[in-house]
Structure formats: C-alpha cells, structure tokens
Structure 1
C-alpha cells in the first residue's frame, strides 16, 4: 500500500467535499492534510480550478477549527491567504499580496523554518505589511506542527499538488525545498 499526502476527509469540515483521491476540495468548509509538515522546508501548490466564490490557503495546526474560511481567518493557529489577497491570522490582516489571481492560476505555498512565502504561477509573490515589503512573513506556531490547509465557499474548486511529479512549477531554487514528506530524512 502506497501512502501519500492528501486532504484528510476524517478531519475536514462536514460540509466540504474532498474529491480526486484527496487532491480536490469544493463545496463549503476547510480541510487540512493527513500528515503535518515534518521537514524544515516544504512546498505545495494550489490551482484555482473554478474561482466562483471565496477561498483560503495556508498553514494551520492540529487544533484549527475547519468549519469555514472565516474560522480559518479568525484562528490564532492558522495563517491563511484569502481570495482578497490578504494574509490573515487571529482575525487580523498580517500581510497582503499586490498581485491578483484568476481562474487557472497556481499559487505555491512555501514553508521555510517558521517563514511563510507564496508564489503565483512560479513567480515570487511579494508580501506587504502597511506598504512595507516583508518577504518572508514570519509565523509563530509556538512549537506546534503545521499542516497545509485549504478552504472554499460558494462554488470555488481548488486542486492541490503535494508531490514533485505533480507540481506545475518547481519550488524555489534553494536546496531542501520540495514536496511534503512522510518521514524526515536524516543525513550523516
């Protein structure tokens, strides 16, 4: 039996639909992955398959309430980029992207030892906080493990890629970035 990273139907909001073997989310609600990010550097991609309503993508902890995009936005253990291109946590905007997106675009989510970055169609998305460029965005998960999280509402459909062979764009050309792994690699 082959194990792979996918959206977790067991912890997802009851009203959300998880399709395509755990790689598509639609309807209303949110879902996190079946495993946390255990390595220092990780990357995943989300394609805006049908951009009919609201969406949110980012990182959360195991305790994040997955009922709705609003619950992700308000949660103190979640950092979420929403369709308004604002990055939210604890009910407050903590950053904003100047770029806009449309149906068919691919958003990359980069986790780098407590830092969060985004790409749009393979290009770095610059995060601004009160008109000051702030790359990357620092997040404090107080030592808790983080999970990729996606939320949708009102007809939006998102497809997610967690493995290198399914990425549309390669992660940053920095050593160590890549797909989310099931086990941490130890080098001697």
Structure 2
C-alpha cells in the first residue's frame, strides 16, 4: 500500500524519490529551425515545410547508407536533395551554388547552377519521392520505384535539404516511411557523443 501511495504522490506532485534520474528526450531527425530561410514556415513538429526558401535537417548524414522521403502535398516550386550548412537557404532554388545538390519539381537535377540530369518521370502532387545516399551517389525513387538517375560528385558533410516557393508544401519523412527503403538503407541516425 505504501508504494501505491508513493507512486500516486509522484504523479500528482511531480516529485520523485532519491536517486531518480530523469529520462532524456531521444533526439529525432526533423527540419532544423536554426538552419532555415527567413520566409520559411516549419510546422507539424518539424515535418512540413512551406513558405519561401530552404531548410536543412537537424542532422547530417553520417552513416554509410541513409534514406528519407518527401510527400508533395501541394505543387509549386520545390526541391529536395542534399546541402552543406553553407548552402543559400534564403535563395530559391537550391542547386545554384556549390553547396547544394537537388532534384527540382520539373525533374531536373541541379548543382552549381548547372543541370546534371533529368528524370523521365516528373513528380506530381500526392507523389512520394524517396532519396537514398551512400556517400558515393544520391538516388531518387518515385512512389517506391527507382528512377535510375544517380547524382554523383557530392562532397563534404551534407544534410537533407528542401526548398519551397510559389505555394509548394512538402511533408518530410525521416522514419516510418511510405515505401520500403532500398536494401541496406535506413533512416538517418543522429550521432551521439559518448561520455
């Protein structure tokens, strides 16, 4: 009976016994509100981007094989890919500088202001775009199907990068994917420093 009373008191008062160690919140990958364009709006707990400009994820891709997705909620001008912390988050579209590699809404792939490729299938509203990256190439998937148009030559510490303009709205998935990632690929892991 005494333990029941103690438990009830803890829940009511928020007090805990001696030696209690509070649980830490497990870090999750989401859109980073510290690395976002001035006119970008981040909602849905860091999972939706709208407004005008770009945002990076709060974690770089450090593991060997990573995967993430976007769902195109509203069309407009948008892009998805990778960028360093130096990429122009207030400039739309990404891919115009040396620090971003993106797929744009019309299926073109850009880096450093140059078109590096073009998808044969152009994504539409409601489609889910998957992105895989293994530090050698970035690949895209449309509704789970590989598009076989790799993006090569990506350098540096990169983060998932997204931009929107002209009414575009993107929902970002860093886990609990719509489609199965390719073999060996998984959600982005946040590096933890060991004490």
Shorter-normalised TM range: 0.7 to 0.9
How far the C-alpha of 1:96 sits from its partner, in A, is: 0.7
8 A Cα contact 2:66 2:134, kept in partner: yes
Aligned to 2:5: none
Higher Rg: 2
1:114 and 2:136 matched = yes
Partner of 1:10: 34
In the superposition, the TM-score normalised over structure 1's length comes to 0.86
- 1:56·1:69 contact (CA, 8 Å) conserved in 2? no
Cα-Cα RMSD: 1.1
Runs of 5+ in structure 1 lacking a partner?
A: 128-135
> How many pairs align?
168
Assess if the C-alpha contact under 8 Å between 1:74 and 1:92 holds in 2. yes
Q: Which consecutive segments of 4 or more residues in structure 1 shift more than 3 A?
A: none
Give, in angstroms, the shift of residue 111 of structure 1: 0.2
Gaps spanning 5+ residues in structure 2: where? 1-24
Q: How does 1:38-187 map to 2 (within 5 A)?
A: 38-51=62-75, 53-70=76-93, 72-127=94-149, 136-141=150-155, 144-163=156-175, 166-172=176-182, 174-175=183-184, 177-183=185-191
